[in-house]
Amino acid sequence: MADIELVIKIPEEKYEWLKENNPKADKNSIVGVIVYGTPLPKGHGDLIDASKLNVALLMGELYGNKTAIQVIDEAKPIIEADRKEQK
């Protein structure tokens, strides 16, 4: 069976509680995948699919006179930026 990568949003207090109260959670359990998961950093920018972007940049003729920066700026994010947390 193939793995699936999943992004979830839970309150920070619940995440910290799970980590503190389940230090030896089985990495294959529901709690374990949360406890051992990788949190997105606060204030992150848009997360985009770089492989699709690389194809778009390599096929530059489809974009006419657009620069790489313009192509990147127009990329649709998979996960929107977390701007509210930036200082």
Q: Report pLDDT digits (tens) over 13-67.
A: 999 999 999 989 999 999 999 999 999 988 899 998 888 777 777 766 555 667 7
Reported pTM: 0.63
> How many angstroms from the chain centroid is the CA of residue 53?
15
- Between CA 1 and CA 22 the distance in angstroms is 26
What is residue 12's predicted lDDT score, i.e. its pLDDT? 93
- Between CA 51 and CA 17 the distance in angstroms is 36
**What are the structure tokens assigned to 14, written together?**
């619940």
